[in-house]
Structure 1
Amino acid sequence: MTAPLIALAVGRGTGPELAPVFERALERITALHGTRAEVVRSPRLYHSYVSLREQARDTGQFERLTGEDAAHYERFCRDQAARGVRAVFRTAINAQSLYLVRQRLAAVKVEPLTAGPARLLLVRDQAQGFYTGENRHTPGTVVRTMEFSRAVTVRILEYAVRRARALWPQGPSRVLMAYKYHLLDGALDAWTEGLAEQLGVAVELFQPDTVNRNLITHGPEDRTVLVAGNEWADIMHVVLLDRYGAQRQEDRCTENVHLAPELDELTEYQTVHGSADDLAGRGVVNPVATLRAAARIAERHVHCPGAEAALEAALAAVRGRGVRTPDLGGRAGTTEVVDAVLAELAGGGAEAGISAADRSGTSAAEAGAGAR
């Protein structure tokens, strides 16, 4: 059987350290399941914001390098989708480049959450609004041009409902749209009129502050789909993770789905944390989100049932032995944590984990004093 192709795109900052973690974890997990994947790496090392600041002499060069990264990554995604690739793992890259691609490929970020007995699906609109668009510079001003479209809005809502029905056998109870729709001259109201009947579920449009107030006061109703504009969802994603996900941003991976028809819902997995340029080259970046991404891709795209649950058990065992990076209060470096988790997966657990903790040494702890 031909090995599934998995794409890999690497940004600067800690990207060059996390890419090998992903490759190693994916290879180990698939081997334990008697299968394998072929990783196709983008030939370009994409900029982080920090690396752009270091290289660009002025806003014109900043804009040019941003555009070059966006054009290259868009071509890479299109080429991989045309080859039949269904999944990409990407480390963090500069936001402006990334959002140019997300606009062109109509991307959404998807995050299932629970709040006690209530289940919530956050579908973050990354294809429209302030985060997308292009800049025009004049002396002392930046003019940012962006757009919303009915076609993209409907496509996102249709996907959100379809995804919720795949997640919950009973289907969604309601769809809440959190957008600053008062700024759009009634366009979103008009576009969503009649969609409830078409989608077979209540669709309600709210201002983001109203959604916040209702979530604080009442909590989410079970099986709620929250479709949100990026202006709100980028900030609230981390807040919702903290409130309902019971996990740190640094430990999470998430997925972005490209809804442009020619991409056939190519899914891009990423760590929730950013490029962490301040940690680059120090060997203390937290690898947990990258390990989780490898397990998720292995289970969903490389025929490895149970890979995510097995990884979670390994992470819990390793944490229980105190093998943690400095941002979590530990003394271990990146490699020590990865060694311990992969050994646990392979059944070599406690002894390997203790060895990893011993090897972490004082230097890793000192180097990670400012880790995040």
Structure 2
Amino acid sequence: MTTDVGLAVGRGTGPELAVVFERVVDRLGELHGVEPAITRSPQVYHSYFSLRAEADGVEDMRRLTEDDAEHYERFCRELARRGATAVFRTAINAQSLYLVRERLRAVKIDVISAPGSSPDAALLLVRDQAQGFYTGENQHTPGVLTRTMRFSQAITDDVIAHALARGRRQWPDGGADRIVMAYKHHLLDGALDGWVHAAAERHGVRIELSQPDTVNRNLIQHGLPRRTVIVAGNEWGDIMHVVLLDRYGVDKQENRCTENVYLHPDLAGLVEYQTVHGSADDLTGRDTVNPVATVRAAAAIVERHCGGTGAVESTERALAAVTARGVRTPDLGGEHSTTAVVDALLDELAQRHAGQPVTLEASS
């Protein structure tokens, strides 16, 4: 039985990474006995730099931004209507993306744990992408831009409920020990305090609502916490994500993929996977963009959404072997092209699956 998987492509290095995604999904499907069927969006969406180059002034930029947002929202809705549960998206212009995230009530999920640490010593970061400064509307008057944003009790409830559910999935033997919300709530007239208190009572849990700087201080002082969920306003989460990855020695952000879950009921939990890195417009067409995050997203989708049990583990082992042989893109200190890295990875996967020793090294 085939499984529908969406693919949305942005400018910059998006087309190159889309090819990587398709190749890896196809190979993993073959090796793990599943049949992913990729549906690619017919529109190639703007990066910020392509938008700036094409737009003729502010109003034209607003029009193109809205066009991309409307098209991508329709694409996601159609995927969900057909029963798809996953879409991979390369980087696109943030303003278009956040219009979609606001309308479809998105949260971003990251698990941060130090290499080799106990599963209990982990932080589950749930970033609220549906409200706050990253959402909202712009109004232009001569020399002034006014940005209006909204906070909603209904959206806050949805975000908290999903965070608690993800905590139970992360630690199925009891869930999270601690739930912290990092928002600049002192600016909201006490409204967020009341909403969080009501949600905590309804779910029968304790939720600590803290200022972001207080959360930072505690992370610095006490280190990686045990079984902690941090629900964060995206203003804090976006800045702190790369800091947390670095502080706890997790990985380079260029190698990471992450997932966004749409909580709007029309989308039934459609999960969007993305690379943490951006569109890398300066590398367009050079065949040197790091493919690791895209490879990991492909493996996660094949295993979690297509039934390819073991795809993530086999891909991680193959990536480690290829990297150990020095097959890397320039950003990781290597001299190999994107294509060469992916070729080596796919060969490694195939030979490991066949139980054969791997001796070949891809050329640059």
Q: TM-score, normalised by structure 2?
A: 0.96
Alignment of 1:27 with 2:26, yes or no, is yes
Q: Could you tell me which amino acid in structure 2 is paired with residue 139 of structure 1? A: P
Paired letter, 1:162: A
**2:118 is aligned with 1:119:** no
Q: How many angstroms does 1:350 deviate by?
A: 3.5
Q: Give the letter for the 2:162 counterpart.
A: Y
1:289 aligned to 2:297?
Answer: no
Tell me if structure 1 keeps the 8 A contact 2:6–2:87. yes
Question: Could you tell me how far 1:36 is from its partner in structure 2?
Answer: 1.2
Aligned to 2:344: 340
**Matches of 2:313 and 2:357 in 1, distance apart?**
16
1:258 aligns with 2:262: yes
What are the superposed Cα offsets for residues 68-105 of structure 1, whole Å, 9 maximum, x if unpaired? 00010011111110110100000000000000000000
1:78 matched to which residue of 2? 77
| Cα shift at 1:201 | 2.2
Deviations for 1:128-165, whole angstroms, at most 9, x for unmatched residues? 00001111111111111110100000110000001110
Q: Distance in 1 between matches of 2:95 and 2:247?
A: 28
Q: Secondary structure at the match of 1:88?
A: strand
Q: Distance in 2 between matches of 1:256 and 1:168?
A: 20
Determine which of 144, 153, 156 is the counterpart of 2:156: 153
| Residue in structure 2 matched with residue 243 of structure 1 by the alignment | 247
Question: Which amino acid is 1:78 matched to?
Answer: R
Q: Can you list the C-alpha shifts for 1:262-297, whole angstroms capped at 9, x where unaligned? A: 110100000000000000000100000000000000
Please tell me whether the aligned partners of residues 113 and 245 of structure 1 are also in contact (alpha carbons under 8 angstroms). Answer: no
C-alpha contact (below 8 Å) 1:173/1:202 kept by paired residues: no
Asked whether the equivalents of residues 173 and 201 of structure 1 are also in contact (C-alpha less than 8 Å), the reply is no
Aligned equivalents of 1:221, 1:164: Cα separation in 2: 14
The CA deviation at 1:245 is 5.2
CA distance in 1, matches of 2:247, 2:203: 29
Return the alpha-carbon distance in structure 1 between the equivalents of residues 36 and 239 of structure 2: 35
Correspondence for 1:140 among 129, 133, 143? 143
- Which residue is equivalent to 1:42? 41
* Contact 1:11/1:93, CA 8 A, preserved across alignment: yes
Aligned residue for 1:67?
A: 66
Cα drift, residue 351 of structure 1: 3.2
CA RMSD, 1 decimal: 1.1
Distance 1:295 1:253, change over 3 A: same
The one-letter amino acid of 2:145's match is V
Match of 1:204 in 2: 208
Aligned to 1:276: 280
Partner letter of residue 29 of structure 2?
T
Q: Residue type of the partner of 1:273?
A: H
Q: Quote the Cα distance in structure 1 between the aligned partners of 2:202 and 2:313.
A: 37
CA distance in 2, matches of 1:109, 1:74: 17
For the pair 1:168 / 2:190, whether they are aligned, the reply is: no
Q: Distance in 2 between matches of 1:154 and 1:222?
A: 24
Query: Which amino acid letter does the alignment assign opposite residue 274 of structure 2?
Result: Q
- In 2 relative to 1, CA 27–349 (structure 1 residues): closer, same or farther, beyond 3 Å? farther
CA distance in 2, matches of 1:67, 1:194: 36
Measured in 1, the distance between the counterparts of 2:192 and 2:34 equals 47
Equivalent residues of 1:343, 1:349 under 8 A apart:
no
Give 3-state SS (helix, strand or coil) of 1:98's partner: helix
Higher mean displacement: 110-119 or 96-105: 110-119
Alignment correspondent of 1:322: 326
Instruction: Flag structure 2 segments of 5+ consecutive residues without an equivalent.
Output: none
- Measure, in 2, the Cα distance between the counterparts of 1:277 and 1:150: 38
Q: Between the two proteins, what is the percent identity of the paired residues? A: 64
Pair 1:14–1:298, CA change in 2 (3 A): same
Runs ≥4 in structure 1, deviation > 3 angstroms?
348-352
Equivalent residues, number: 355
Q: Is the 8 A contact 1:173 1:224 kept in 2?
A: yes
Structure 1 residue 33: deviation in Å?
A: 1.0
Equivalent residue for 1:182? 186
Cα distance in 2, alignment partners of residues 245 and 146 from structure 1: 35
In the alignment, what sits opposite 2:314? 310
After superposition, the Cα gap between the structure-2 partners of 1:162 and 1:247, relative to the gap in structure 1 and judged at 3 Å, is same
How far does the alpha carbon of each residue in 1:145-190 deviate from its partner, in whole angstroms, 9 at most, with x for none?
A: 1101000001100000011101102111121000000111111001
Aligned to 1:56: 55
Whether the aligned pair in 1 keeps the contact of 2:9 and 2:91 (CA below 8 Å) is: yes
1:194 partner SS: helix
